[in-house]
Amino acid sequence: MCATCGCSDQPRLRLITGGADPDPPHEHEHGHEHSHGSGRTIALQEKVLARNDALAVANRAWLHSREVLAVNLMSSPGAGKTTLLERTARDLGGELGLSVIEGDQETALDASRISATGCRVVQINTGVGCHLDAATVGDALRTLAPPAGSVVVIENVGNLVCPALFDLGEGARIVLASVTEGADKPVKYPHMFRQADLVLVTKTDLLPYVDFDVARHAADVKLISPAAQLIPLSATTGDGLDAWYDWLRLRRLA
Protein backbone atom coordinates (compact mmCIF):
# COMPACT_ATOMS: atom_id res chain seq x y z
CA MET A 1 0.00 0.00 0.00
CA CYS A 2 1.14 3.56 -0.68
CA ALA A 3 1.96 5.10 2.70
CA THR A 4 1.06 8.56 1.44
CA CYS A 5 -2.58 8.02 0.53
CA GLY A 6 -3.33 4.35 1.24
CA CYS A 7 -3.72 3.25 -2.38
CA SER A 8 -2.17 0.30 -4.15
CA ASP A 9 1.27 0.79 -5.67
CA GLN A 10 1.17 -2.21 -8.02
CA PRO A 11 -0.18 -0.72 -11.27
CA ARG A 12 -0.41 -2.61 -14.55
CA LEU A 13 1.19 -1.28 -17.70
CA ARG A 14 0.01 -2.14 -21.21
CA LEU A 15 0.59 -0.78 -24.68
CA ILE A 16 -2.52 -0.06 -26.77
CA THR A 17 -1.97 0.17 -30.53
CA GLY A 18 -4.38 0.58 -33.40
CA GLY A 19 -7.46 0.42 -31.20
CA ALA A 20 -6.99 -3.33 -30.73
CA ASP A 21 -7.84 -5.17 -27.54
CA PRO A 22 -4.83 -4.98 -25.21
CA ASP A 23 -2.71 -7.94 -24.24
CA PRO A 24 -3.20 -9.25 -20.70
CA PRO A 25 -1.73 -6.66 -18.37
CA HIS A 26 1.91 -7.05 -17.42
CA GLU A 27 2.39 -6.43 -13.75
CA HIS A 28 5.42 -4.55 -12.46
CA GLU A 29 6.50 -5.31 -8.93
CA HIS A 30 7.39 -2.38 -6.71
CA GLY A 31 8.31 -2.49 -3.04
CA HIS A 32 5.67 -1.34 -0.61
CA GLU A 33 5.40 -0.30 2.98
CA HIS A 34 2.83 -0.79 5.73
CA SER A 35 2.58 1.79 8.48
CA HIS A 36 1.49 1.54 12.11
CA GLY A 37 1.13 4.69 14.20
CA SER A 38 1.07 8.32 13.17
CA GLY A 39 4.80 8.96 13.65
CA ARG A 40 5.75 5.98 11.53
CA THR A 41 3.16 6.94 8.94
CA ILE A 42 4.68 10.41 8.52
CA ALA A 43 8.16 8.92 8.19
CA LEU A 44 6.95 6.47 5.55
CA GLN A 45 5.12 9.23 3.67
CA GLU A 46 8.35 11.19 3.49
CA LYS A 47 10.22 8.09 2.35
CA VAL A 48 7.67 7.30 -0.38
CA LEU A 49 7.70 10.86 -1.70
CA ALA A 50 11.51 11.07 -1.57
CA ARG A 51 11.81 7.82 -3.54
CA ASN A 52 9.24 9.08 -6.04
CA ASP A 53 11.05 12.43 -6.40
CA ALA A 54 14.33 10.66 -7.15
CA LEU A 55 12.67 8.65 -9.93
CA ALA A 56 11.01 11.83 -11.24
CA VAL A 57 14.44 13.47 -11.54
CA ALA A 58 15.57 10.48 -13.62
CA ASN A 59 12.45 10.75 -15.82
CA ARG A 60 13.05 14.47 -16.32
CA ALA A 61 16.67 13.87 -17.35
CA TRP A 62 15.57 11.10 -19.75
CA LEU A 63 13.02 13.42 -21.37
CA HIS A 64 15.44 16.34 -21.52
CA SER A 65 18.11 14.25 -23.21
CA ARG A 66 15.59 13.47 -25.97
CA GLU A 67 14.13 17.00 -26.10
CA VAL A 68 10.67 15.59 -25.35
CA LEU A 69 8.04 17.70 -23.59
CA ALA A 70 5.89 15.79 -21.10
CA VAL A 71 2.82 17.45 -19.58
CA ASN A 72 0.79 16.12 -16.67
CA LEU A 73 -2.97 16.50 -17.27
CA MET A 74 -4.95 16.44 -14.00
CA SER A 75 -8.58 16.94 -13.02
CA SER A 76 -11.52 15.37 -11.24
CA PRO A 77 -13.29 12.53 -13.08
CA GLY A 78 -15.43 13.71 -15.97
CA ALA A 79 -13.80 17.11 -16.48
CA GLY A 80 -13.09 16.29 -20.12
CA LYS A 81 -9.43 15.21 -20.22
CA THR A 82 -9.92 12.38 -22.71
CA THR A 83 -12.27 14.35 -24.95
CA LEU A 84 -9.75 17.19 -25.10
CA LEU A 85 -6.96 14.73 -25.90
CA GLU A 86 -9.00 13.14 -28.70
CA ARG A 87 -9.57 16.53 -30.32
CA THR A 88 -5.93 17.57 -29.78
CA ALA A 89 -4.61 14.32 -31.26
CA ARG A 90 -6.76 14.74 -34.37
CA ASP A 91 -5.91 18.40 -34.87
CA LEU A 92 -2.29 18.51 -33.76
CA GLY A 93 -1.04 14.95 -33.30
CA GLY A 94 1.05 14.83 -36.45
CA GLU A 95 2.60 18.24 -35.91
CA LEU A 96 3.64 17.49 -32.33
CA GLY A 97 4.37 13.76 -32.71
CA LEU A 98 1.88 13.38 -29.87
CA SER A 99 1.78 10.25 -27.70
CA VAL A 100 -0.21 9.62 -24.53
CA ILE A 101 0.19 7.84 -21.19
CA GLU A 102 -3.32 7.03 -20.02
CA GLY A 103 -3.97 6.51 -16.29
CA ASP A 104 -7.15 4.83 -15.03
CA GLN A 105 -8.01 2.52 -12.17
CA GLU A 106 -9.48 -0.10 -14.53
CA THR A 107 -10.25 -0.74 -18.23
CA ALA A 108 -8.58 0.50 -21.40
CA LEU A 109 -11.63 2.44 -22.60
CA ASP A 110 -9.94 5.84 -22.71
CA ALA A 111 -6.75 4.42 -24.23
CA SER A 112 -8.83 2.86 -27.01
CA ARG A 113 -10.46 6.24 -27.69
CA ILE A 114 -7.05 7.89 -27.97
CA SER A 115 -5.65 5.06 -30.11
CA ALA A 116 -8.56 5.44 -32.55
CA THR A 117 -7.21 8.89 -33.45
CA GLY A 118 -3.95 7.28 -34.64
CA CYS A 119 -2.06 8.42 -31.55
CA ARG A 120 0.29 5.99 -29.80
CA VAL A 121 -0.81 5.32 -26.22
CA VAL A 122 0.25 3.33 -23.18
CA GLN A 123 -2.41 2.39 -20.61
CA ILE A 124 -1.60 2.25 -16.90
CA ASN A 125 -4.26 0.63 -14.69
CA THR A 126 -3.68 1.51 -11.05
CA GLY A 127 -6.26 -0.84 -9.47
CA VAL A 128 -7.37 0.93 -6.29
CA GLY A 129 -4.61 3.52 -6.76
CA CYS A 130 -5.73 7.13 -7.07
CA HIS A 131 -2.70 8.58 -8.87
CA LEU A 132 0.20 7.82 -11.18
CA ASP A 133 3.75 7.79 -9.85
CA ALA A 134 7.19 8.36 -11.31
CA ALA A 135 8.09 4.66 -11.38
CA THR A 136 5.25 3.57 -13.64
CA VAL A 137 5.47 6.70 -15.77
CA GLY A 138 9.14 5.90 -16.31
CA ASP A 139 8.19 2.39 -17.46
CA ALA A 140 5.54 3.86 -19.78
CA LEU A 141 7.95 6.39 -21.28
CA ARG A 142 10.44 3.69 -22.14
CA THR A 143 7.66 1.60 -23.67
CA LEU A 144 6.46 4.54 -25.76
CA ALA A 145 9.99 5.60 -26.77
CA PRO A 146 8.73 9.02 -28.00
CA PRO A 147 10.74 10.55 -30.86
CA ALA A 148 13.00 13.55 -30.27
CA GLY A 149 11.17 16.86 -30.21
CA SER A 150 7.75 15.29 -29.60
CA VAL A 151 5.10 15.83 -26.90
CA VAL A 152 3.87 13.25 -24.38
CA VAL A 153 0.64 13.95 -22.50
CA ILE A 154 0.20 12.06 -19.23
CA GLU A 155 -3.50 11.78 -18.44
CA ASN A 156 -3.51 11.22 -14.70
CA VAL A 157 -6.16 9.35 -12.73
CA GLY A 158 -9.23 11.52 -12.12
CA ASN A 159 -8.60 12.98 -8.64
CA LEU A 160 -8.02 16.50 -7.32
CA VAL A 161 -5.91 15.45 -4.32
CA CYS A 162 -3.16 12.83 -4.59
CA PRO A 163 -1.91 13.46 -8.17
CA ALA A 164 -0.74 16.90 -7.03
CA LEU A 165 1.64 15.27 -4.55
CA PHE A 166 3.56 13.15 -7.04
CA ASP A 167 6.17 14.61 -9.37
CA LEU A 168 6.29 12.44 -12.51
CA GLY A 169 9.20 14.20 -14.20
CA GLU A 170 6.85 16.28 -16.34
CA GLY A 171 7.79 19.62 -17.84
CA ALA A 172 4.43 21.25 -17.07
CA ARG A 173 1.30 20.64 -15.04
CA ILE A 174 -2.16 21.32 -16.44
CA VAL A 175 -5.35 21.31 -14.38
CA LEU A 176 -8.78 21.01 -16.02
CA ALA A 177 -11.77 22.58 -14.30
CA SER A 178 -15.08 21.99 -16.05
CA VAL A 179 -17.92 24.49 -15.72
CA THR A 180 -20.23 21.63 -14.70
CA GLU A 181 -18.25 21.16 -11.46
CA GLY A 182 -18.85 24.63 -10.04
CA ALA A 183 -16.48 27.55 -9.58
CA ASP A 184 -15.31 26.68 -6.06
CA LYS A 185 -12.71 24.02 -6.93
CA PRO A 186 -9.60 26.27 -6.66
CA VAL A 187 -10.41 27.22 -3.06
CA LYS A 188 -11.50 23.69 -2.11
CA TYR A 189 -8.44 22.02 -3.67
CA PRO A 190 -5.76 24.72 -3.45
CA HIS A 191 -2.75 22.37 -3.55
CA MET A 192 -3.79 21.02 -6.94
CA PHE A 193 -4.29 24.48 -8.45
CA ARG A 194 -1.16 25.86 -6.77
CA GLN A 195 0.88 23.33 -8.76
CA ALA A 196 -0.64 24.33 -12.12
CA ASP A 197 1.25 26.00 -14.94
CA LEU A 198 -2.00 26.13 -16.92
CA VAL A 199 -5.65 25.93 -15.93
CA LEU A 200 -8.07 24.92 -18.67
CA VAL A 201 -11.72 25.80 -18.02
CA THR A 202 -13.52 23.13 -20.04
CA LYS A 203 -17.04 22.59 -21.41
CA THR A 204 -17.62 26.32 -21.84
CA ASP A 205 -20.35 25.55 -24.36
CA LEU A 206 -22.46 24.57 -21.32
CA LEU A 207 -22.08 27.92 -19.52
CA PRO A 208 -25.63 29.07 -20.42
CA TYR A 209 -27.04 26.01 -18.66
CA VAL A 210 -24.99 25.82 -15.43
CA ASP A 211 -24.29 28.02 -12.42
CA PHE A 212 -20.61 28.84 -12.88
CA ASP A 213 -19.19 32.20 -11.80
CA VAL A 214 -16.47 32.82 -14.41
CA ALA A 215 -15.10 35.94 -12.72
CA ARG A 216 -14.96 34.35 -9.27
CA HIS A 217 -13.21 31.27 -10.61
CA ALA A 218 -10.61 33.35 -12.47
CA ALA A 219 -9.97 35.50 -9.39
CA ASP A 220 -9.49 32.44 -7.17
CA VAL A 221 -7.05 30.86 -9.63
CA LYS A 222 -5.09 34.14 -9.79
CA LEU A 223 -4.96 34.32 -5.98
CA ILE A 224 -3.87 30.71 -5.50
CA SER A 225 -1.53 30.41 -8.48
CA PRO A 226 -0.56 33.89 -9.74
CA ALA A 227 1.75 32.56 -12.47
CA ALA A 228 -0.74 30.08 -13.94
CA GLN A 229 -2.22 30.85 -17.34
CA LEU A 230 -6.00 30.46 -17.68
CA ILE A 231 -7.63 29.31 -20.94
CA PRO A 232 -11.40 28.71 -21.31
CA LEU A 233 -12.29 26.27 -24.06
CA SER A 234 -14.76 23.77 -25.44
CA ALA A 235 -13.50 20.60 -27.10
CA THR A 236 -17.00 20.17 -28.55
CA THR A 237 -17.34 23.50 -30.37
CA GLY A 238 -13.63 24.24 -30.75
CA ASP A 239 -13.82 27.60 -28.93
CA GLY A 240 -10.49 28.37 -27.22
CA LEU A 241 -8.62 25.45 -28.77
CA ASP A 242 -6.28 27.71 -30.74
CA ALA A 243 -4.99 29.21 -27.48
CA TRP A 244 -4.47 25.71 -26.04
CA TYR A 245 -2.63 24.58 -29.16
CA ASP A 246 -0.44 27.69 -29.14
CA TRP A 247 0.43 27.03 -25.49
CA LEU A 248 1.52 23.48 -26.37
CA ARG A 249 3.61 24.70 -29.29
CA LEU A 250 5.37 27.31 -27.18
CA ARG A 251 6.09 24.91 -24.31
CA ARG A 252 7.48 22.41 -26.77
CA LEU A 253 9.85 25.02 -28.19
CA ALA A 254 10.87 26.15 -24.70
| Domain residue ranges of the chain, discontinuous segments joined by + | 12-253
Torsion of CA 142, 148, 150, 152, to 10 degrees: 20
Q: Report pLDDT for 24.
A: 41
Q: Report pLDDT for 40.
A: 55
Q: Report pLDDT for 11.
A: 65
Q: Is 67 left (phi over 0), alpha (psi -120 to 50) or beta?
A: left
Q: Report pLDDT for 47.
A: 74
Supply the pTM of this predicted model: 0.85
DSSP, collapsed to helix, strand or coil, labels residue 121 as: strand
Q: How many CB atoms lie within 10 A of CB 245?
A: 17
Q: Report pLDDT for 49.
A: 84
Q: Report pLDDT for 211.
A: 96
Q: Report pLDDT for 128.
A: 83
Q: Report pLDDT for 19.
A: 46
Q: Report pLDDT for 171.
A: 97
Per-residue pLDDT tens, the chain, 254 aa: give them. Answer: 454 565 655 566 666 665 444 444 444 444 444 444 555 555 556 677 889 999 999 999 999 999 999 999 999 999 999 999 999 999 999 999 999 999 999 999 999 999 999 999 999 998 888 999 999 999 999 999 999 999 999 999 999 999 999 999 999 999 999 999 999 999 999 999 999 999 999 999 999 999 999 999 999 999 999 999 999 999 999 999 999 999 999 999 98
DSSP, collapsed to helix, strand or coil, labels residue 235 as: coil
Distance in angstroms (rounded) separating the CA atoms of residues 121 and 15:
6
C-alpha distances out from residue 212 to 83, 180, 215, 228, Å: 21, 7, 9, 20
What number does CATH give the domain 12-253? 3.40.50.300
